[in-house]
Structure 1
Amino acid sequence: MRVGIMGCGRIGRNVFRLLADHPTLEVSAVVDTADPKGLAYLLKYDSIYGRFPGELTSTDGGVLLNGREIPFTQDREPGDADWEALGVDLVVQALPKYHTGDWMEAHLKRGAKRVVMASTPETLGDVPLLLWGVNDDILSQDSRVIALGSNTSNALAPILSILDRRFGIAQATFTSVHAFTNKQRLADVPTSGFRTSRAAAENIIPSETNSPAILEFVLPELAGKIRGMALNVPVSDGSTVDLVAVLETPTSVEGINEVVREEISSRYPKIIEYIEDPIVSSDVTGTTHSGQFDSLATLVLGETMAKLIVWFDNGWGYANRIVETLEVFEKFEEGSA
């Protein structure tokens, strides 16, 4: 089945790489306002993931991927790209804006059969929101558009779900310690916010995160119990979530780790990885899971206050969830799911 990617930033390029040798899904068009030759260069050479693993060459209108022509267009908004004319069935929108149901509908009106929004809806509830491993049941034959939330919420939601089901969560706070992003500055430059104007490679920068709202939306039983913030730090990849939860049932480090290990094995083997080695941030680069539970970092105070660490690659695991969503959409289109 033919896939169109709108937005060829980090997530869009990761999806392109993952689909390059996919047995049934193929990228058939890339839409981005940037210069096509510049995009082709960034697809071929990546500072985090290295050289493109296949044969990729730039052409006047796109790229040749292992000898197959993929056109690039410079349409700006959802609805501008003629997906029907491009022969595209499924669309991945990986843009920094246009995160509403109306914008997603614009893709469908131009020929797309189904759309994956690689972000969070501007208004929660406007587009169905999927966090893999937690609310997979919202995907159905009738699903035409789905949003996948944030990297942080994908990494943390399964762990919160485990803790609440097995121990009960009274309250929880977390800090997402996040690698810097392309929204930040390399030098001190005035922006719309004071902290965001500071150099990303020289500072630890506190910032807001919408992940608590996402988590409460998908896990309504935790509504009013979660707060969170983010720290953007001077690393290019490899992030972590530092979670502190007050539990309703007394437990221990061993008790939490055993429950999490058991649940990951039975419910989340492709979503969360259980780690017993002393890893650091660079060790999670290129991992396909949404998160890596660090069993060596678990702490318990007074039997009910627990501190846990969940690592995540801030792009590759998320891109894998996009591809898995496309695979489900493909089955729906073929009538086999």
Structure 2
Amino acid sequence: MAEVLVLVETQDGELKKATGELLTAARTIGEPSAVVLGPAGTADAIASALAEAGAEKIYVAEGDDVAGYSVAPKAEVLAQLVSEKSPAAVLIASSQDGKEIAGRLALKTGNGLLTDAVDVDADGVATQSIFAGAMTVKSKVKGPVAIITVRPNSIAAQPQAGAGAREDVQVQISDAAKRSAILDRVEESTGSRPELTEANIVVSGGRGVASAENFKVIEDFADSMKAAVGASRAAVDSGFYPHQFQVGQTGKTVSPQLYVACGISGAIQHRAGMQTSKTIVAVNKDPEAPIFELADFGVVGDLFNVVPQATEAVKARK
């Protein structure tokens, strides 16, 4: 059975949920092999978790040459592994960095690339939402190695213990890949809230929230459910909430189990970033708002009346 390489993502020294999802998807195609890229010691901290999630092999490339620069060295390491291991596919999380790594890898190896897949079958056929979600298509790479980026939260992780056999990779990074060095890292704190693209529940506010101060209503509701907080582009552009929390075609793509849209009209730009959510609830005072066409449940009403009541109801059930 051919290997399927999975690029591992971590946060605070722990596996991101997306990695477990990718390993599950990889198992449908072939033998899951995790690829760990980062500073020295990264693999030691997550090796057991990778094996529990289903990694049969763990390829490790660590050190300053990988961690001290932008995405180019990561693409070179993956290209080296593709050449040596001849995998059936390479699966990468559909994040900003992930898409760039995948694009570089496709160019270096001469293989096809599919982005934003929401499912992958045993034949390597990827299901994608395209044209801002207006259509769903099935696509397959014509070539020996399929390079696919997968949206977080789109595939349910199903852990299945693997051997987790470690193999260290001799890193040979070109000078060209070192032209963009990382000089400093600043982590944006979200407090106790989960990371936006990792969250099972997301509560987002839009233009209808009306001000940055009023976003406290959205945050309180999110905190009552241990959810992440998101915002529409209109809210971000108006200065109501920081850009890193924007959900949409030009922001982050989320696919949680529950998405609550508060005061969001439902423009196609926003829908493209959240419409694969399993259950969508919309709160808007305009009964004709496009968001209701997409929502599984809708509440027509003033969010400043509806959301605080919902917050209290959730708290009362704890």
TM-score normalised to structure 1 length: 0.38
